[in-house]
Structure 1
């Protein structure tokens, strides 16, 4: 059997029977200043988790390079343009997305300066969140500082609080 015949045979076997997950990318963006560390977050415009905070990201298009997808999603949702990202990890717990089995490659980026943000695509708002010494997010910075005494993990979509914590 040549390779073409073998591939034809193989595709008729077990491979089509396996479920295929959706593939997404997320971006954990830090800005480090002399007095604080900030994380870039978006507020979700749509369901699931409408109104909750999330890392900028989204679905990888068919045939798209995942690094380019991460860079594209960051720009579409926040207006922030970067040239490079570094892989932080891959997340795929079965209950991370109520729409179904979804695996996400999470990328990390450290910016040297605070970038101007705008909310686009699936984001209704974008924020720089300040991280305190205890690694709990207390306040976010927009035109003025706001504070929250709520449990910050309950404010997040998907498993993004876990990703930030790790």
Structure 2
């Protein structure tokens, strides 16, 4: 693995610059009639779960609540962990590790921040193509969906 090098700010000596995956969160928001997906405003374009990068000093749970609010204008509750996704190719921009949560919300989503659109999709009519690895995430979710969320 090739390493990049930085200069030590004190002495100028070359030091290894380690590259680490970037933490992100994604949220499956259950609402009356289905789940909320956003249409992305930025590359890669397409339908996706609401989510984004975890800010420094922020918990994963707080990031999930914040990203849900920022992209869908919904306040989520009943946050629970679905799983973690770490395939280095899951995001074409960089290596990310996503912690995926399931949450509930009521009301109609309104797109904001990085979302061009926010729509409630019935589980039976989810878009076939989704950004990143969100199809795999939703397949995992659907395997474990309760009868209440399977409408």
| The two structures share one fold, judged by TM-score above 0.5 | yes
1:77 maps to 2:51: no
Partner of 2:104: 110
Residues in 2 aligned to 1:100 and 1:74: alpha-carbon distance in whole angstroms: 22
- 1:126 aligned residue: 118
CA RMSD of aligned residues (A): 1.7
- Taking the aligned partners of 2:49 and 2:132, their CA distance within structure 1 comes to 10
- Alpha-carbon offset, residue 116 of structure 1: 1.7
Runs of 4+ in 1 over 4 A off after TM superposition: none
Q: CA deviation at 1:84?
A: 4.0
Look up the match of 1:43: 39
Unaligned runs of 5+ in 1: 1-15, 139-151
- 1:83 Cα shift? 4.2
1:160 aligns with 2:134: yes
TM-score, normalization by structure 2: 0.76
User: Deviation of residue 99 (structure 1)?
Assistant: 1.0
- Runs of 5+ in structure 2 lacking a partner? 1-15, 141-151
The residue aligned with 2:24 is 24
User: Cα distance, 1:100 vs. partner?
Assistant: 1.3
CA distance in 1, matches of 2:133, 2:56: 24
Which of these residues, 80, 85, 89, is aligned with residue 86 of structure 1?
A: 80
Distance 1:19 1:100 in 2: 11
TM-score by length of 1: 0.70
